[in-house]
Homo-oligomer: A and B are copies of this chain.
Amino acid sequence: MKKRIAVLPGDGIGKEVARGAVEILQAVGERFGHQFDFSYGKIGGTAIDEYGTPLTDETIQLCKESDAVLLGAVGGPKWDKAPAHVRPEKGLLKLRKDLNLYANLRPTSYYESLADSSPLRKEVIQDVDMLIVRELTGGLYFGKPSERVQDNGQDAVVDTLYYQKAEMYRVIKLAFELAQGRKKRVTSIDKANVLESSRMWREIAEEVSKDFPDVTLDHMLVDNAAMQMVKNPKRFDVVVTENMFGDILSDEASVLTGSLGMLPSASISEKGPYLFEPIHGSAPDIAGKNMANPLAMILSAAMMLRVSFGMEEEAAEVERAVNQVLDAGFRTGDIASFGQTHSSTTEMIDEVKAVL
């Protein structure tokens, strides 16, 4: 089977980990007899430096013509003072919007072998298995107006949290569908005691739940959710929430099990292509030092194999290889316990390849 994959390494460690994913996919292709064609595009600060914009039309076109997109990470201090429209993040936001990637799926899983690198007690995180479904193309991220204003001679500013009912509906429905293949439990998170948008969100969640009698739904306020994630993360199965709450809560969730450098994510649209990226950022402090953990990116590639190409066996093989490398004691600095030897990015990639 031939598949076209757009690779956007982006900034910082994005470049190093993207290379890892490509090497692993090549190994998978050889072993299983698939042809993966990789085309490269620039995004983020790297694109700003070359083209003066964080995302060119050519790159968008490239993604649209591909079967799936792999993204490294964007951003860095070099571009932090730039005006809003030429920031690296704008490239990612525009790509999400142009590809209609309305839902971001972030699994948080427990790795027995990494339990020691978690800030939480082992008994709190053991067997955590949570999937956060974050709305990705609406809310405060895209609402207009978003600008400085004058108000009776006062300097003021406004951002807008805007949603259409249909935008809420489709992502909540997706969460219920995903829950059917899991523990059949959806927790919908909002701030219905304050926001009108949250009251609408809650109504729609109730409406959708009528079509899924086998799935239980509960509602939780976002402040309470921020507590429960730490106190009792095991209580969650599928979590669904709007864009900004999802940004905050999914990052919080990602550190619970001590495996931030291990977590992949998928961004889904109605028609494809989908985008796969690690949850971690561009980590400018360790960029170029061959220290980054490539496993989240490699596991994102595995997610792509499963979700976009239906290659369940191939995906499982990559995941198995990653686990075997961990069990053998190989660790980048972020997941190493005190006293453990640190492996480099390229060593980790080579180890996974060797097992495959």
Contacts and interface: CB of A to CB of B under 8 A. Distances in A.
A256 B245 CA distance: 20
Contacts of A162: 156-158
Contact of A227 (B161, B199, B254): B254
Interface residues of A, number: 58
Nearest to A198: B159
A243 to B, nearest CB: 9
Interface stretch (A59-67, A147-155, A208-216, A302-310): A147-155
A178 interface: no
Contacts of A260: 227
A252 B252 contact: yes
A93 B75 CA distance: 37
A100 B141 CA distance: 29
B146 A156 contact: no
Given A84-B199, A255-B231, A194 B160 contact: no
A323 to B, nearest CB: 24
Nearest to A138: B156
B226 A249 contact: yes
Interface string A215-234: 00000001110110111100
Given A162-B156, A252-B252, A147 B230 contact: no
Given A119-B232, A231-B255, A245-B248, 20 more contacts: A84-B199, A93-B194, A140-B195, A141-B194, A148-B196, A151-B164, A154-B166, A155-B164, A156-B162, A156-B164, A157-B162, A157-B196, A157-B197, A158-B161, A158-B196, A159-B196, A161-B161, A224-B251, A227-B255, A230-B255
**A-B interface, 9 closest residue pairs, ranked by CB to CB distance from nearest:** A155-B165, A226-B252, A223-B251, A159-B161, A89-B193, A119-B124, A156-B164, A157-B200, A157-B197
5 contacts: A119-B120, A157-B163, A157-B197, A158-B196, A158-B197
Interface of A: 75, 84, 87, 89, 93, 119-121, 124, 140-141, 143, 146-148, 151, 154-166, 191, 193-197, 199-200, 222-224, 226-227, 229-232, 244-245, 247-252, 254-256, 260
